[in-house]
Amino acid sequence: MNRLKLNIPSPLEELIDPIISEKEVSVYVKRDDLIHPYITGNKWRKLKKYIQIFEESQKKGILSFGGAYSNHIMALAFVGNLLNIPTIGIIRGHELNKNSNQQLQLIDSLGMKLIFISREDYKKKNIPIDLEWKDYLIIPEGGYSKIGVDSMRELAQELEKENATHIITAVGTGTTAIGLAKFLSSEIIGILSLKNKAEINKNEIKQLGQNKIELLEDYSEKSYGKFDIEINAFSEKFGLEKKIPVEKIYTGKMFYALFDLIQKDYFPKGSKIIAIHTGGVYPTDPSKEIANNF
Ligand SMILES: *Cc1c(COP(=O)(O)O)cnc(C)c1O
């Protein structure tokens, strides 16, 4: 895996802000966004174990699922390209094609085979029968599985010695938060991007995290509109002020929630909080990056 040239262990940086000192807590940011320009953040962390399993197997390639802007599919396409592993991406939306957006174009140029299926088929994870995928290793959407959870061990090991009282992370499927809760004794706070708390709670994978997870749904898309504009403005300002780029879906929302919780005295004085920057911010012009790298 050296060929991936990943920046691991990723840096841990202290976050400075008047409200943090006023409330007498400390905050550190785990910069998993700096692992690689495209194999970013928790997407690498969740893939790692799958890549090891693939390398020890006789499988021909790796197949996974995602939406048209899936960071998971992006990371898998890059890993496949750099390690010469054939990859297939099953993409939600029959109406789409490889030119539907820049991200899909880039993924296609990396050699991932893209298959577009209807939303109904996607829900059932119906893989087209004429596709040659029988000898492929299958990764569930977003790496949401026991393997994905166990794959978080690497990040947990990097954080262990920090003895944080709290760790805060953005949540999509919950794999990252559950993995951290499995391997660390800190309290894990997950900021939901979607209103899927009930779904995460009822899935048996959640039990792997031993119930040390606080999932907060208050910051997920209530109503697009006012709140969305607020998160957008916050994300932009945070990126400029702290020199830590974030996007509004996951990491912008997570930092917004973090400051809101600090303000509301959620954290006792003396708390040591680590915020996981789960990545998802790409260089602005993908075509330039490709030209430089290949
Ligand atoms: C996918 C993603 C998440 C969600 O991670 P889960 O493990 O599915 O909860 C969070 N942040 C970013 C930037 C992501 O791309």
Q: Supply the residue whose CA is at minimum distance from atom 4 of ligand 1.
A: 172
205 falls in which pLDDT band (50, 70, 90)?
confident
| Ligand 1 geometric centre to CA of 172 (Å) | 5
Render pLDDT for 51-79 as a digit per residue (tens, 0 to 9): 999 999 999 999 999 999 999 999 999 99
Q: What pTM does this model have? A: 0.93
129 vs 186, more confident: 186
Q: How far is the CA of 174 from the centre of ligand 1 (A)?
A: 8
Taking residues 11-15, what's their average pLDDT? 98
Residue 46 Cα to ligand 1 middle (Å):
10
Pocket of ligand 1 (CB under 6 A): 41-43, 71, 142, 170-176, 250-251, 278-280
Give yes or no for residue 290 having a pLDDT over 70. Answer: no
- Those residues whose C-beta lies under 8 Å from the C-beta of residue 272, and which sit 6 or more positions away, are 25, 26, 28, 162, 163, 164, 165, 166
Provide the mean pLDDT of the chain: 92
Distance between Cα 216 and ligand 1 center (Å): 15
User: Looking at the predicted structure, is the pLDDT value of residue 292 above 60?
Assistant: no
Q: Which two tokens stand for residue 249?
A: 């879906």
Give the model confidence (pLDDT) of 26-57 as tens digits.
999 999 999 999 999 999 999 999 999 999 99
Q: Of all residues in the chain, what percent carry a pLDDT higher than 70? A: 95
* 101-123 tens-digit pLDDT: 999 999 999 999 999 999 999 99
Q: What is the pLDDT of residue 293?
A: 38
Mean pLDDT in residue range 180-193: 96
Which atom, in ligand 1's list, is nearest to the CA of 169?
Answer: 10
Q: What angle do CA 38, 40, 42 make, to 5 degrees?
A: 150
DSSP string computed for the chain = -GGG----SPPEEEE--HHHHHTT-EEEEE-GGGS-SSS-HHHHHHHHHHHHHHHTS---EEEEEE-TT-HHHHHHHHHHHHHT--EEEEEE-TT--TTSSHHHHHHHHTTPEEEEE-HHHHHTT---TTS--TTEEEE-GGG-SHHHHHTTHHHHHHHHTT--SEEEEEESSSHHHHHHHHH--SEEEEEESSS-HHHHHHSGGGGGGTT-EEEE-TTS-SSTTHHHHHHHHHHHHHHHHHS----TTTHHHHHHHHHHHHHTT-SPTT-EEEEE-------S-HHHHHHHH-
Region 119-133: mean pLDDT is 88
Confidence at residue 224, expressed as pLDDT on a 0 to 100 scale: 57
Q: What percent of the chain has pLDDT above 90?
A: 81
Q: 234-276 pLDDT, tens per residue?
A: 999 999 999 999 999 999 999 999 999 999 999 999 999 999 9
- Going from the Cα of 273 to the center of ligand 1, the distance in angstroms, rounded, reads 19
Q: How far is the CA of 130 from the centre of ligand 1 (A)?
A: 31
Best substitution site from 103, 176, 276, 281 to test ligand 1's pocket, by max atoms within 8 Å of Cβ? 176
Token output for 72: 């998971």
Structural contact between residues 71 and 40, judged by C-beta atoms closer than 8 angstroms: yes
How high is the pLDDT of residue 294? Answer: 36
Q: What is the pLDDT of residues 145-176, one digit of tens each?
A: 999 999 999 999 999 999 999 999 999 999 99
Reported confidence tier of residue 132, pLDDT bands at 50, 70, 90: confident
pLDDT band per the 50, 70, 90 thresholds, residue 222: low
